Every structure is written in structure tokens, then in C-alpha cells.
Amino acid sequence: MPAIFRPTPLVAALAALFLVPPALADALPAGSLTVTADELSGQMDNELKARGNVVAIRDDQTITSDWLNYYVKRNELIEAGDRVHMIQPGSDILSQKLDYSMASQQGRADDAVFAFQQGKGVLRGKSDELKILGDKHYELKRTTVNTCDPGDESWYLKATTVDADYTRNVGVARNARLYLGGVPVLYTPWMDFPLDGGRKSGLLFPTFSVGSDGLDITTPYYWNIAPNYDATIFPRYIAKRGLMLGGEFRYLQPGYQGQMYTEQIEDKETDTHRYLWKGQHQQQISPELSWGFDGSYVSDFDYFDDFSDRLAQVSSDNLERQAWASYNLGWGAATIRAQRYQTLIENARGGVIPYARLPQITLNGGQNLPEGFAWNLQSEATRFSHPDLQEGDRLMLNPSLSWRADASWGYIQPKLGVNFRQYALDSLGSQAARNESITTPTFSVDSGLYFERESEFAGSPHTQTLEPRLYYVKIPYRDQASLPNFDSSINDFDWTQLFSENRYSGWDRLNEANQLTAAVTSSYIDNDSGLERLRVGIGQRVYFSEDRVKLYPGESVRDNVSDILATVGGDLTRDLRLDGAIQYNPEQGRTEKYNVALRYHPEAGKALSLRYRYDPDELVEVNGTAVNYPTRQIELAGQWPITRQLYGVGRVEYSLAAKQAFDTLAGFEYNAGCWTFRMVGQRFVTDIDEFKTSVMFQLELKDMSSFGKVTDTLRLAIPGYSKTNE
């Protein structure tokens, strides 16, 4: 016998004992209550009692039970029992007994099994007592919870209480124990977590490792200040060195963004105060005008050796600090910049320390003109400052005009330019202040042809391309021996350098050139998939005259022809990638350098890579002595499943010359579906005869949280690495 109620006592009393066809329930006003049961009884203005197969429906809320009492005048209180099932958007509750006020949306369920969902996160579990504190707000007492699929209890939290407030997206557990596979692994008196996987204020899971400095543990606290502001405070305890306090503040606005970061420690190993400061800011003041700054500073030369990871080790010899402002002119940009460096090499002097630019003003731009013409301008005015070397000002202007003709079968592009440099040099020792200037015209012609034909590769139809290219450069000789070297160095000889006018970086040296580069590349492109199965290229430069420009005394004299460069690469299959390059000296009949790399990546979680590199010189430690040896280095890295859930990860960078590994990483990750655990050990060089070791751990709980940063290390170390739980 069905009954229908509105949320007011009067309507409930009038409708309590009326039969209503089920089809009519769909047309009821919002807030009406429909009750069906085997038996219905009650007083018109007081209460309704339902027995047997009870179904109570109000809007998108449904309650089923063996019996139900509904008290209209007691704040629309529902009492239900034996087998109660309450379903509403975002929650599903099974219990033995339910007391629930439909007016206040508050109540209590005993011996409850529940599932709460908002966004992608689902919180499941069971609780001796479940309190409903309002719309989407629950308190669970003596409860077990997790975020796994139904029936999966591979991990869970047992807590005295869990407060799940979906209106604030915050869950708080008190007196909680974390179980993995039924084994307790972590206890915390208090923890909070986001209920939909989003960000929120509160303690984050700790990161920890064990290594050369003993136990290293960080317990971050995240402060979600606003949607566009946040901060992280992270105390870090290092057994050998003491307590470090770090902090990061980030901000994001429509017109600007940035972050500030610091670490501070009273190092008991060195008995000194040590620190790191980093800051970054970018701001768009108007569509044309922008400015920003970016910089880092540390307390001492060994800071990154002692406190940072492998990535910081290879990028920390010079810490840059700069501030800039730029104005967009439409055809180009004008920029003013102040830049200097902190050199992290003890007793560094001379050219080891980069020049500071205080300031540097640049004006760069260009435009396409009618009939294939284009002009380009590179210019700068810079004040160079240095504690040991020649200081001074440099003005550089480099305008050029080019013309390009394109056709389906090829192109040609001549370019005419002029390089002007004016120096105002300060006095240095007995040398008086002086001014020097130099003007150098430049001319180049770039040209290429396109050919293609239908062919076969590995037994399937492909398109083969052939692209010969000629690049000629003419630059007259200008004596530059008396000029300082503020920012120039010799570029590596590679494929890009084959098609460059100047073999020097910076603007203090411009080589003499009367040279022609000839190169050809060919590709096989799969007609079905569009993949470039194979690409090969070979090129060489011919010198028609000697280059008399030198960067430093004793610089080697080049031959009449350059080394031969050859490259090979391509997706041999969808899973297998090949890349390689070789530099061969035909005059001396020897290979100068080469590298070859293979990468096999059939699917996520499966990645293998092998690389061999040979360079002419490398500083290595042999029996306590630094010696230059040829580099013969092997890099092997991989991620591969051992079982359905267990994956091995590893990387080794081994020097055949030094007969030792410079960087070794090995570990595993176990993906249980609802949780993933990673453990990785790493040993890497910090100096010519010094190494650092660490063992890192990471635990990820599905849709809840994680602690540890092992994945950051693995992404840098293993090409193609992917998280197995994504």
C-alpha cells in the first residue's frame, strides 16, 4: 500500500493513508515523500508505520528496509531497521538501523557499510557508527576505510574517527593505522586528505630515504591559501646533519605568476649555517610590456653535493641570477637585462667565472617583405663586469637582408649581412683604457632540392625522400686578437653547426669563412602509418681558405675539409627507435666521436634503452690521479614487468675508461591496483672521487595520497618511464 507525503505536517497527514498509483509519483512536486510497503498504518497527523519490503522515495533519495517509522512532527524523522539501504547522490549506505531527519538531513546509522563519492574519488568502508551531520558531511566512528574498488582491501585505514566533509573536500582521520595486505605499516594520531583527489591544506605524506647521511625524512605541510595561492612548509630531518626547514610559496594571477623557495639548516656536520634561496616572477604589465626575475643563491660551494639530487649535481656549477624587462614592438622586441652568476667551484678565478652583464640591452626582430625578401636585426649593448678579467662595454649590430625562392622541387636563399662591434674597454693593470671597433660583412647562400619516389622498406610500401643541400658562407678576415672574450666559446661540431655562419658562440669572435657545406639526407616513410622508419644523413664542409681567427693562443689549425658527420635515426618499428651519429676525421683516418642509442617501448610500463657514447677526452680518476682519457660510456636503462604486479627499474651509466659506474640506480615498483610501492637505490658521483648514495621509498594510495618522490627520479633516469598505476 503506497503513501505520499510532502515535507509539511499538514500535507503529510492528509496523504498518509491514500493509495497513489506508481506512475503518479513521477509527477509529484519536489520534496514529496512516497512510501510503499506490504503493510501501512498510522495516524493522519502524527506518524506512519510501514512493514515488509519498505521503499521510501523523496526526490533523488531512496531508503529501503524491513520496517520504517516516519514521524511528521518530529522533524520528519525516519526510523528504519534490520536491513536498511539509503541511496542519495554521492553516498550509498547499508546499515542495521537508521535514524534520519529528512528536514535537517542529519542522522545516524549503526553497523554501516558505505561508499561516498565526489569527483573521481570514492571513499568506501565500514563503521560501527556513522553520523550524518548534514548534506554531504559524515562522521565515522570505529571505522575502516579505503579508496579501492568494491571487495578490494589490499590497503585500508583503521581509525577511531574519520570526519568526511564533502562540502570542504576534506577528510580527517584520528588515531589511524595504515594496513597493507592486512599488515600495519604506519600509525598517525592525526591526518587529513582530499576527498576528490584535489589539493587541500594539511599535512602531506612524508618523503624519506636512507643514504650517505643516514635517515633523510621530510614531512611537508601544504597550505591551500586560495585557488591561485599556495604554500608548502617542509621540515626535513637528516640524521648526519640535523634539522632543515624549507618553504615554498606559489602564486598565479591573470597578469603574473611566480614562486619563492628557501631551505635553511644549522649543519652539525660542518658547524655552519647553510641555506638556499630561489625566486621566480613573470608579469605581463600590458600587451606590449613584461618583466620578471629568476635567480638562485646558496651559502657555499658544496651545498648541492650535500643536500640535492643527481639533477642538481649536473647543473649547479654556475647559479644564474637575472632580472629583465621586455617591450614588444610588433616587428621585434627590446629587452633590458641584468645578469650575474654564483660560481660553485672553490677558488675559481679567471675564465671559470662567467662575466656579469650589468646591464644588457637588446633589440632583435625582423619582418617578411614582398617578393620573398626579409630583413632581420640582432643588436645589443652590454656592460661586462668581472672580478679578475678585462671589463668594458660592447655595442653589437648585426642587420641582414635575405631573399628566398621556393618551389615544389627545392629552394634557394641568399643572405647579406654586416656585423659591427664597438668596444669601450676599461684600464687593466698597466694597460690603459681604450676603444676599438670592427666591421665585418657576411654573405651566405642556402639551397636544397627535394626528390621522392615510391619504394619498399622491410617488405612494405614506403615513400623514399632524397634531399641534397648546399650551404656557402663568405666572411672576410678581421684581426680580433686584441679584443677581449666576454661571452664566446667554440661550438661543438654537429649537424646544426654544419649550417651555421659562425663556429663561435657569443659575439666576440666572428670566424673568417670561404666555405661550402654539402649534405644529403634520405628518409623512408611508411605509407600506411606515416612513421619515418629510417632517416640517414651525411655532410661535410670544404674550406677554400684558412681561418686565421683564433679564440685563444695555440688553438689548433683546421684542415682543408671538416670532419664528416653522419646521422641515422627512425622508428624501425612502432616499438623500436634508433638514433645515432658519428664524426669522422678523413685527414687522420680516425673517428673523433660517435654515439648510438636504441629504445624499445612497446607499451606503458615496458621501456628499454641502450646508449653508447665515445668522445675524445674525459677527465677521470685513475689511482688517485686525474687523467684525460677517451670517453667510452655505456648507458643502460629500463622498466620492465617481472610479474603482473611487480616491475623492475634500473639505470647504469658506466665509464669503460675509468672502469667504474658514475651513476647507478636500481629498484622495483609493486602495483597492487589500489596501492603502489616503489623502492629505489641510487649511487652517483659528486666529485672526481666522491660518491653519494641513497635509498628512496614511495607509497601511493589510489585516489588518496602518496609519500615519496621516487617517480621524479625515475622519469629523469629512464627514457620512456611511465607510472604503472596511471
592 contact partners, CB below 8 Å, separation of at least 6? 563, 583, 584, 585, 616
User: Which pLDDT value is given to residue 9?
Assistant: 36
Q: Which string of DSSP letters, residue by residue, matches 645-699?
A: SEEEEEEEEEETTTTEEEEEEEEEEEE-SSEEEEEEEEEEEEETTEEEEEEEEEE
CA torsion sign for 34, 35, 41, 42 is negative
- Is 280 in contact with 248 (CB distance < 8 Å)? no
pLDDT of 431 > 90? The answer is no
Three-class DSSP labels, 557-603: CCCCECCEEEEEEEECCCCEEEEEEEEEECCCCEEEEEEEEEEEEEE
Q: Confidence band (pLDDT; 50, 70, 90) for 630? A: low
Residue whose C-alpha cell is 649590430: 397
Say if residues 418 and 401 touch (Cβ distance below 8 Å): no
Rg (CA), the chain: 36
In percent, the amount of the chain with pLDDT more than 70 equals 91
pLDDT band at 164, cuts 50/70/90?
Answer: very high
Kindly state the cell numbers that stand for 526. 611508411
Q: What is the pLDDT of residues 516-541, one digit of tens each?
A: 999 999 999 998 888 899 999 999 99
Domain map (residue ranges) of the chain = 1-98, 390-603
Quick one: pLDDT at residue 193? 78
Q: How far apart are CA 323 and CA 294, in angstroms?
A: 6
Looking at residue 352, the DSSP 8-state letter turns out to be: G
Mean pLDDT of 35-45: 82
Q: Which phi and psi angles does 620 have, rounded to 5°?
A: -130, 165
Cell numbers of 641, please? 614487468
Please say whether the beta carbons of 28 and 5 come within 8 A.
Answer: no
- The set of cell numbers assigned to 676 is 603502489
More confident residue, 9 or 357: 357
- Average pLDDT score, the chain: 87
- Our measurement of the distance from residue 335's CA atom to the centroid of its chain's CA atoms, rounded to an integer in Å, reads 28
C-alpha cell at 14: 492528509
Residues 701, 705, 708, 712, CA torsion sign: positive
What global pTM score does this model have? Answer: 0.77
pLDDT at residue number 707 = 62
Q: What is the largest CA-CA distance in the chain?
A: 113
| Of residues 462, 437, 460, 441, the one with CA closest to residue 452 | 462
Q: With CA atoms as reference, report the closest residue to 71 among 25, 9, 27.
A: 9
Q: How far apart are CA 85 and CA 87, in angstroms?
A: 7
How do residues 186-209 score in pLDDT, each as one tens digit?
888 888 777 766 666 777 767 778
pLDDT at residue 619 is higher than 60: no
- 85, 91 contact by CB (below 8 A): no
The 8-class DSSP code of residue 345 comes to S
The mean pLDDT value for 650-658 works out to: 87
Q: Is the pLDDT higher at 617 or at 571?
A: 571
CA-CA distance, 113 to 127, in Å (whole number)?
A: 7
